[in-house]
Amino acid sequence: MTASTLASRSRHVLALMIAAGSVLACITPDALAQEGRRRRGGDQEAKPVQLSPEQTDQLTKIATDRKLNVDDLLSAAKTYMPSGRHDDYVLFSSGGQSGQVFAIGVPSMRLLRSISVFTPESWQGYGFAGEADRVIDSLKINGKVVAWGDTHHPALSETKGDYDGQFLFIGDKANSRIGVIDLRDWETKQVVKNPLTVSDHGGAFVTPNTEYVIEGGQYATVLGYGYAPIEEYKKSYRGMVTLWKFDRAKGRIDVANSFALELPPYWQDLADAGKNASDGFFFLNSFNAEMATGGIEKGNPPFEAGASKRDMDYLHIVDWRKAEAAFKAGKAKMINGFAVLSMETTAAEGILHLAPEPKSPHGVDVTPNGQFMVVAGKLDPHVTVYSIDRIKAAIASKKYSGTDDYGLPILDFDAVKEAQVELGLGPLHTQFDDKGYAYTSLFLDSAVARWTLGGEYDSLNPEPAWKLVHKTPVQYNIGHLCAAEGDSASPDGKYLISMSKWSVDRFLTTGPLLPQNFQLLDIGSTGTTMPVIYDMPIGVGEPHYCQMIKADKLQSWKVYPEVGWNPHTQSLDPNAPKKGQEGVVRDGSNVIINMTAIRSHFSPEHVEVNEGDHVTWRIVAAETAQDATHGFCIGGYNINLSLEPGEYTEFTFTADKPGTYPFYCTEFCSALHLEMMGYLHIKPKGTK
Amino acid sequence: MTASTLASRSRHVLALMIAAGSVLACITPDALAQEGRRRRGGDQEAKPVQLSPEQTDQLTKIATDRKLNVDDLLSAAKTYMPSGRHDDYVLFSSGGQSGQVFAIGVPSMRLLRSISVFTPESWQGYGFAGEADRVIDSLKINGKVVAWGDTHHPALSETKGDYDGQFLFIGDKANSRIGVIDLRDWETKQVVKNPLTVSDHGGAFVTPNTEYVIEGGQYATVLGYGYAPIEEYKKSYRGMVTLWKFDRAKGRIDVANSFALELPPYWQDLADAGKNASDGFFFLNSFNAEMATGGIEKGNPPFEAGASKRDMDYLHIVDWRKAEAAFKAGKAKMINGFAVLSMETTAAEGILHLAPEPKSPHGVDVTPNGQFMVVAGKLDPHVTVYSIDRIKAAIASKKYSGTDDYGLPILDFDAVKEAQVELGLGPLHTQFDDKGYAYTSLFLDSAVARWTLGGEYDSLNPEPAWKLVHKTPVQYNIGHLCAAEGDSASPDGKYLISMSKWSVDRFLTTGPLLPQNFQLLDIGSTGTTMPVIYDMPIGVGEPHYCQMIKADKLQSWKVYPEVGWNPHTQSLDPNAPKKGQEGVVRDGSNVIINMTAIRSHFSPEHVEVNEGDHVTWRIVAAETAQDATHGFCIGGYNINLSLEPGEYTEFTFTADKPGTYPFYCTEFCSALHLEMMGYLHIKPKGTK
């Protein structure tokens, strides 16, 4: 073929491609989707699968070559997702010290998306919008940007104790913050900083109708960023738990209607809200009831020993409706601008009771019916089960074994205890299924224990109540665990995730820093059948806790509702430029750029400003097709946007370095994506 | 059981756990690993797998319930990895606009780890070491931190044209930078900024023995951050390609011995180095040989049309040994402090020749034997194949069809062209296998084409040379593709990744921003058998290109070689505190903290400084067991470290906000991990 016949053919191709300014017009996502389903049979009816002798041979040959055994083939069949078939559950996992949230499909254990919360991330354009970036502003603490978080506990919003799929809250242990994610567009809308404490542990946990997001503290400090030497620990250091009021209509935490409880300087840990039988209460663990203050360098016992001396720590039982009433009645004092109910008030009003719990507990988990609270003391081989009926009765009859150093009443242990079940070494956290079983993580045993609940759950499984049934080994050292909707009022009993903290040899060595290991267990059967069916490396952070929601509960937007949508206000933005209104508006040294982006060009393509100008750049992605995302960046100016279909955004910068700057689309949007660019000219001072 | 018998049992557990200060002493990783292998049969011999009738029933029942067909079962068996079994290949993928690199196991398609390069990331403690962070310093451009990158092309270091597993280079398109990763510890050691250009495209590509890392430019600009209005495009704007000298012994790019070639303001694109027959050359595409300057807002054709008008663009053929000789002979001029060979010099010295290439090419890929260069012009349905023998002959006999506007000789198209193969719409990139096939991505067809090579490859497969054999549809719109070692001198011919840019309906909707789709194809057979066997969502950035290396070529460290290791210098650090030397050293308002971290405590646990002190904090992770990583953070001070076994690091900050700050370990290191904490007291001015 000669160059000229080539040329005529390629003109034909180009004509196909550039149609009304929109490349890919010839290959719409809908058409692609239908084609994809047809190819892969995504919508096929369930009809019995049969293997011919040849197919069986093919399968066993692959297994033999790859050294798979029959269990492996069964596990593969339980977890494999063909192209275009969607997972049954979404696991929303904290990203640990990455500061992010990860969404993972179950049972395929594929990482579907990360969501930026406390750490700026450029793919999502989160924190890369120049000088007046609202994300960066929201991350400031005492005037300084703290651009990371230690995300610990995600909490899906709930209605009547069940996940409703609307919002996700996530706590930052390192800096005591809560992030609010809107699950319509999977973006972080708000970050609130707790003004009382430096760091926390327990946040976020929600009450059954998401009235409040509960954030428990951890390491005691002087509330409100005060100073006191370590010698004044008992006198001046305090714990706290904060009840953040959630405004569901606005999709934001309402800080003015939020308040905290002052607590003793025990290290509070996880919280769980009561539901059904225990609605109106929440439960909060603690450890270091010893009030040990460490100091290994001075010859003192280190915290690891000092905080583990006592036989009992304290379960904190909080009547949050009483607390709310006291707050509304003006009984709070202000610390660093935030309302706090003092220990005197919580004791006087009957808001807070303590109950002994065996030692150094890590998890308190409420059964789906709200009847029982399961506490796992990591230095005790048992789980201890409390009953809400016993707790209520003990409170009513003031069945106390005394008060603590701060005057808080301590309920009698034997009066509130329902049962203890010996499980093994290092029990931490418990989740539930629909068959009357509880599942507890055993850190030191490196196992998941299945055991039976009592009460109304007793009849659901073949074994007697309050008994260990089975332990499945996991690799290695499980922290939290998560069953399908397993901490809600109606667990599904299908899958369970072991959040194994050490992977050691499970995956290829990735240098000295290794991934964690999310192991998927099939808990669909009863008795001793509970196999590990998948290992997923987590090499993007160390997740702490996660929740697993039925995928069909999520009603996510496929594109923004209208072109010109501002994701921060969740409404059409009046500043969003419309097609035909693009251009540059100058007011002295303040310049506004109005730009549209559509496959495959920006308009305008030439932008000229003067050195020193203050530039506000407004961009609308004028796309309406799903997945037609554009990006926008200017090299050297730390600016990158993710412009999802319909999205409006703006960024600002000072044009302080003159030169000739290409800007371009950073998402591969079309065949002519590379041509989707333009030039920003920053004219040097003194240039004509 | 009573509280007191509980107490005696729990004391027993604690005694087990705290042994010589090191929790987990009772459960060593090695023991765990052996146990894990035993459980799962990781080391088992290959013995024929057989399915009993009951097992077949079990399998087909699972398949029926999950609506899997027989092909799905075969694909599942080809990709599933049992716990503890390691993948055969590692895919090092650019992370696109996330600024990171992702390492993915093949065939399981599990994300093993991200590696931070251009974007700070807190899990890895990358860029969170306070005021004098070397990472943050390395990310400055013209004095300002540019804390993200658009990572495009990763390049594994090579020896004789094959991956040697030692280093990985990665380019930042947005800001024209190259990152250097040491694959012993999988950490970024260096970021170099190109002083000539704002952004690039082609970097990084290596010469066959990693003598140079090649970074091609893209959008023309005024070299050295100059300014010129768009009207002076032809006169003042230039392209460039930079040859970064790599010092393998130091593991660093040697900037002083690096240089660039000035190029016409065509938009240069991908590069590939010659090897074997074409050793000594590299090849660089370009598009926009039209030198279109856009300006849709002025009624001009937008770039997408203007840059697509001509029938031919130019393949740039560079004799890099001649270029090196000219540079060493002092023939370069300096632009913004960097050595540049002018177009006059490259023409006069015979360094650079152009050859026509059909239109708007995106990839140029050299066959494993170095004989052929395959160019895919995205607006032409063919790939065009050039031969190095023809190119050499044409250069020797000066078989020119003319010169371009800048005096560069253009080789005659028909003289250098070996073959053209019609494949379909939107061909972009090509990779190779061991069976004489080439594989080309077709963006608009949304398919991977398999076609036959000629010359010495002709006999390897059943089909005639230079023919399309098969197209496998992919979902959707493939950009780059990557076969196992498929761009090296000895491809493996096993797996191929389709880097599909749109996922649309392939996965659950994750809001308006969707993941990309890495699809795994089995290319182990010949002819028309080339199925997609796995879909992997990529929801952490939009990868651009990747390379797949045999896992056993990587010789990664499991822990750092000695306790006190500085990963930046890759040597023992003289400042690393030793056990027993912990403490606080004060010199006026400069304070040095010497700290060790070992399960499960820091030493010291109490650190007191004065408001306004300048603090240098030195920490050693005194661990030697694999995966025994600690973290370290101080809330509110934007500090988080990842302390891998043996690692030494330091951070600095000014103690400007007084208060009582808990610090704690941010990696779940042991059962007493929560107790691994201490207090930083920042004493307010005026406190006694």
User: Token pair 């996992």 is at which residue?
Assistant: A93
Is B13's CB within 8 Å of A114's CB?
A: no
User: Token pair 């988080």 is at which residue?
Assistant: B640
Cα separations in angstroms, B302 against B98, B218, B238, B294, B578: 28, 17, 20, 5, 64
Confidence of residue A32 (pLDDT cuts 50, 70, 90): very low
In tens, the pLDDT along B405-428 reads 999 999 999 999 999 999 999 999
Q: Is the Cβ–Cβ distance between A650 and A129 less than 8 Å?
A: yes
User: A2-11, A584-593, B129-138: lowest mean pLDDT where?
Assistant: A2-11
Is B671's CB within 8 Å of A78's CB?
A: no
Query: What is the least distance, in Å, from the CA of B225 to any CA of chain A?
Result: 5
Give the C-alpha separation, A609 to A615, whole Å: 8
- Please give the mean pLDDT across all residues of chain B: 93
- The residue ranking higher by pLDDT, A99 or B19, is A99
Q: Is the Cβ–Cβ distance between A358 and A376 less than 8 Å?
A: no
Q: Backbone phi, then psi, for B443, in 5-degree steps?
A: -65, -50
Residue A39 has pLDDT above 50, yes or no: no
Chain A positions in Cβ-Cβ contact with residue B78 (cut-off 8 Å): 62, 66
Query: What is the least distance, in Å, from the CA of A360 to any CA of chain B?
Result: 9
* Minimal-distance CA residue of chain B relative to A600: B304
Q: What is the DSSP letter of B33?
A: H
Chain B positions in Cβ-Cβ contact with residue A633 (cut-off 8 Å): 97, 150, 174
CA atoms within 13 A on the CB side of B674: 30
Q: Average the pLDDT over B179-190 and give the result.
A: 98
Q: What is the model's pLDDT at position B568?
A: 96
Percent of chain B with pLDDT over 90: 91
Residue A16 has pLDDT above 70, yes or no: no
* Minimal-distance CA residue of chain A relative to B532: A83
Give the C-alpha separation, B200 to B208, whole Å: 22
- Which domains are assigned to chain A? 89-553 (2.130.10.10), 565-683 (2.60.40.420)
- The residue ranking higher by pLDDT, B45 or A518, is A518
Q: Average the pLDDT over B338-346 and give the result.
A: 98
Query: What is the least distance, in Å, from the CA of B382 to any CA of chain A?
Result: 9
Candidates B39, B380, B603; nearest CB to A13: B380
Which tokens go with B292? 């279109």
Query: What is the least distance, in Å, from the CA of B325 to any CA of chain A?
Result: 32
**Among B429, B428, B280, B415, CA closest to B354:** B415
Chain A positions in Cβ-Cβ contact with residue B582 (cut-off 8 Å): 297
Which tokens go with B454? 């000629």
Q: What is the model's pLDDT at position A45?
A: 58
Is B227's CB within 8 Å of A541's CB?
A: no
Candidates B13, B114, B145; nearest CB to A381: B13
Which tokens go with B412? 């005659």
Cis omega (within 30 of 0) for bond into A604 = yes
Which sign does the torsion angle of CA A350, A351, A352, A353 carry? positive
Give the C-alpha separation, A451 to B616, whole Å: 50
Q: Average the pLDDT over A602-626 and give the result.
A: 98
Residue A38 has pLDDT above 50, yes or no: no
In this structure, the number of other CB atoms found within 10 A of the CB of residue A514 comes to: 26
Q: Which of B51, B303, B584 to mutate to test the interface with A (most CBs of A within 10 A)?
A: B303
Q: Average the pLDDT over B661-670 and give the result.
A: 96
Q: What is the model's pLDDT at position A6?
A: 41
Q: Average the pLDDT over B453-465 and give the result.
A: 97
User: Terminus-to-terminus CA distance in chain B, angstroms?
Assistant: 51
Q: Is the Cβ–Cβ distance between A275 and A370 less than 8 Å?
A: yes
Chain A positions in Cβ-Cβ contact with residue B359 (cut-off 8 Å): 7, 10
Which tokens go with B246? 């790599």
Chain B positions in Cβ-Cβ contact with residue A80 (cut-off 8 Å): 68, 72-73, 75-76, 79-80
Confidence of residue B30 (pLDDT cuts 50, 70, 90): very low
Q: What is the model's pLDDT at position B24?
A: 40
User: Token pair 């370590």 is at which residue?
Assistant: A230
Confidence of residue B7 (pLDDT cuts 50, 70, 90): very low
Percent of chain A with pLDDT over 70: 93
- Which amino acid appears at position A330 of this protein? G
Chain B positions in Cβ-Cβ contact with residue A234 (cut-off 8 Å): none
Is A113's CB within 8 Å of B539's CB?
A: yes
Tell me, letter by letter, the H, E, C secondary structure of B61-116: HHHHHCCCCHHHHHHHHHHCCCCCCCCCEEEEEECECCCEEEEEEECCCEEEEEEE
Confidence of residue A12 (pLDDT cuts 50, 70, 90): low
Residue B35 has pLDDT above 50, yes or no: no
Q: What is the model's pLDDT at position B560?
A: 98
Chain A positions in Cβ-Cβ contact with residue B674 (cut-off 8 Å): 201, 218, 267, 269, 287, 362
Chain A positions in Cβ-Cβ contact with residue B50 (cut-off 8 Å): 60
Which tokens go with B310? 């001509």
Give the C-alpha separation, B128 to B134, whole Å: 10
Candidates A184, A304, A541; nearest CB to B600: A304
Q: 3-class SS at B510? A: coil
CB pairs under 8 A between A and B: 709
Residue B374 has pLDDT above 90, yes or no: yes
In this prediction the ipTM stands at: 0.95
Q: What is the model's pLDDT at position A245?
A: 98
* Minimal-distance CA residue of chain B relative to A201: B674
Candidates A72, A237, A542; nearest CB to B80: A72
Q: B156 Cβ partners below 8 Å, 6+ apart?
A: B92, B163, B164, B165, B167, B168, B206, B547, B549
Confidence of residue A468 (pLDDT cuts 50, 70, 90): very high
Is B511's CB within 8 Å of A150's CB?
A: no
Which sign does the torsion angle of CA A172, A177, A178, A180 carry? negative
* Minimal-distance CA residue of chain A relative to B380: A10
Confidence of residue A71 (pLDDT cuts 50, 70, 90): very high
Q: Average the pLDDT over B172-178 and give the result.
A: 97
Q: What is the model's pLDDT at position B400?
A: 98
Is A304's CB within 8 Å of B507's CB?
A: no
Q: What is the model's pLDDT at position A46?
A: 63
Confidence of residue A132 (pLDDT cuts 50, 70, 90): confident
Is A3's CB within 8 Å of B311's CB?
A: yes
